[in-house]
Chain A
Amino acid sequence: MRRPPIGVLVVAAAVLYPAVHAIGIGPSLGGLVTILFFTLLAVGLNIVVGYAGILHLGYAAFFGVGAYAAGILTTPSHPFGWPFWLALPVGGAAGALLGLVFSAPLLRLRGDYLAIVTLGLGEILQVVLINLPGVTRGNSGLSPIGAPRLLGYELDQRYPAFWYYFVLALLLLAVAVSRAVERSRFGRAWVAIRENELAADCMGVNPVRAKLLAFVLSAVVAGVAGAAYGSFAGGLYPTAFTFNISATLLCMVILGGMGNPAGVVLGAVLLAGFDRVVAPFLTEQAGRLLPGGGGGSWRIFLEFHNYRFLLYGIALVILMRIRPQGLLPSAEMREELLEREEAASAAGAPA
């Protein structure tokens, strides 16, 4: 009775949603797939930001490397023509390789310096994608990207239900991996480094190796997510991997509660949900209710989608003011709250 199985209920609701949607209620599955991609990435970013406490500002680079590695292998505009299912792990491996190569010099830095270098990494990748036209087709983009084949079906965007379940499965896998590692000695080493690097070092934890593991593991998640995203979107363009993506993902992690995958999922669903579901709905309603169908030069002010960064910023400021640990802080925080409640109720009980 300590904790109602909210997690189980949420997963069940997510699994059953397409059936509900089939009778015509709720937002489209395609929009939800984008939300799920963001959530998957946020869970991956949480490994490095939430557990190991490394402020990572270039996560989109790992997403992009995975996407392009798999995209190049599957697109018909290159001769490789690999099936999607083979390219998917290659995307993860490409992310891991980039993480490994860059983290060797990176992880000897600390705090702000490390953050600046990750920021640079994200910017460099975008410039590289634009300036290697022979490989990436530059700004004109890599398109189309091969779709996964299953039982004779070519599962591209016309099959949102497949993508919904596929990305949901990836997300559940990422959460399960996060949870398992969190409870192991590796997860404890991450948190120890986040809390006090010197003390962790003096307790026999090799900080460089622990950070490397966090960095590479989160890069694998980003790489796999990228590989899947490329196929879902059908085309890859350098503009899909800007700093905006990295910053939005970071907002999701911080808003939801660093170090707790469930909190991160909540943060990601709230922010991406606003962007993909709430804002289009509001825009549509405004257009319907206002005279002239919301036409006119001030129409642009009713594109609620454009307010997203303003709202993310306001949400973060309010959160930092009233609940700096995030909406759903990690399990140890909850235990502590529980302990206080028990102490309070024990004190209040008649002797």
Chain B
Amino acid sequence: MSLANLSLRGVTKRFGGLTAVSSVDLDVAEGSIAAIIGPNGAGKTTLFNLITGVYAPSEGSISFEARDVRRALDRRAIELGTSVAAGCALLGVAIAAGVPAFEALVSGYRYAEPFAWGAGLGRALSAFGERAVGVVLGALAGTAVGAGGYAVTWRRGRVRPHLLARQGFGRTFQNIRLFKDMSVLGNVLVGLHPRLEAGFWASLLRLPSQRREEAGARAEATGLLEFVGLADRRDALAKNLPYGDQRRLEIARALALRPKVLLLDEPTSGMNPNETQALTRLIGEIRERFRVTVVLIEHHMKVVMGISERVTVLDHGAKIAEGTPAEVSAHPAVIEAYLGKGDEDVE
């Protein structure tokens, strides 16, 4: 077995008194297809939300390629925090004495008479001096609020979906979440967003470098649409696609991130047997072509048994079984979770 590149240790998520996911350990090997199954309300989607940073775990840790997925305190964060604190300190000073200082500066000015700037600035400085205590307190309070606020924001921002997406997690949603009023192509282009580098001014002026990048992005997005079979609908609005196509568009959009791990939340739900079969094939092709690790939540046992190498079974937020599809389907706890206890059986 190859190295586990996604690993969860004791991951727990509580919503108030409800424990949605309880102390789950999970290892997904690089390049494998792993399935997560379980009855409704077992915590499968919550687990996906934890892996992709929608929620931060209440307890436990998630690591990817042997590194904690949480953002470290890097130099950029410290620089930004320092400048926010400095800005808030200035704001504090302005609130404490800005208006009196301004009034002192302009006092003594008569319409159309020459104004003595030196004296004005002296008055403004002495206005600050008279309120020295307030100014110092304002600066201190501003620094405290700025630094504290930034620290809280940074702490909360350690786990965010866009950060996880940039680390290589692409996902789809159980209840499709497309950008409905955007074109099909536009949806895929959003997936390319983190890899595009054009700056704001380059975009504003439509510099050649930005145009080239946009053209390249369009070509790449069109290629992905061809791969999932939607290239002929690229200018349609996403909301006007049939249901099955919407699911495939979600996959194309996630692939645009060039993910290392692709998480599919019930990719075949609401599909007929033909569509299900086609999508199962597509998942296999995705793994071959894009060399991704696939984690899927699925209810169609045929899909699960057909393509996944390891199956994890959740019930009431806890992992109750794990193994190959054959092992899991024979596991007594799994049968019990799905079909109920056997003690009422007659004969």
State yes or no: do A and B come from one complex.
yes
A79 to B109, CA, bound (A): 6
A202 to B180, CA, bound (A): 16
Q: Once the chains bind, are B112 and A180 in contact (CB under 8 Å)?
A: no
B178 within 8 A of A: yes
A1 within 8 A of B: no
A335 to B171, CA, bound (A): 28
Tier of interface size on chain A: 35 or more
Kindly supply a per-residue 1/0 record for chain B positions 174-215, scoring 1 wherever the CB is within 8 Å of any chain A CB and 0 otherwise.
000111111100100111111010101001111000100010
Chain A residues 170 to 220 lying within 8 A of chain B, measured CB to CB, are 177, 180-181, 183-186, 188-189, 191-192, 195-196, 198-207, 213
The residue that A202 contacts in the complex, of B165, B189, B210, with Cβ under 8 A, is B165
Residues of B within 8 A of A184 (CB): 198, 203-204, 210, 214
Interface secondary structure of A, over-half rule: helix
Residues of B within 8 A of A135 (CB): 99, 102-103
Residues of A within 8 A of B13 (CB): none
Chain B residues 268 to 289 lying within 8 A of chain A, measured CB to CB, are none
The residue that B166 contacts in the complex, of A79, A204, A330, with Cβ under 8 A, is A204
Interface secondary structure of B, over-half rule: helix
Residues of A within 8 A of B193 (CB): 185, 188-189, 192, 203-205
Residues of B within 8 A of A341 (CB): none
Residues of B within 8 A of A206 (CB): 160, 162
A77 within 8 A of B: yes
A339 within 8 A of B: yes
Residues of B within 8 A of A191 (CB): 179, 181-182, 186
Residues of A within 8 A of B162 (CB): 201-207
Kindly supply a per-residue 1/0 record for chain A positions 318-351, scoring 1 wherever the CB is within 8 Å of any chain B CB and 0 otherwise.
0000000000001011011001000000000000
Q: Once the chains bind, are A336 and B203 in contact (CB under 8 Å)?
A: no
B237 within 8 A of A: yes
The residue that B179 contacts in the complex, of A78, A192, A335, with Cβ under 8 A, is A192
Tier of interface size on chain B: 35 or more
Chain B residues 228 to 254 lying within 8 A of chain A, measured CB to CB, are 235-237, 240, 253-254
Residues of A within 8 A of B206 (CB): 180, 183
Q: Once the chains bind, are A336 and B106 in contact (CB under 8 Å)?
A: no
Kindly supply a per-residue 1/0 record for chain B positions 128-167, scoring 1 wherever the CB is within 8 Å of any chain A CB and 0 otherwise.
0000000000000000000001000100000011101110
B81 within 8 A of A: no
Known contacts A196-B177, A204-B165, A204-B193: A77-B111 contact under CB 8 Å: yes
- A–B complex contacts, Cβ < 8 Å, 5 sampled: A79-B117, A188-B186, A195-B179, A200-B190, A332-B183
Known: A132-B99, A336-B240. 5 other contacts (CB 8 A): A135-B99, A180-B205, A184-B204, A192-B193, A203-B254
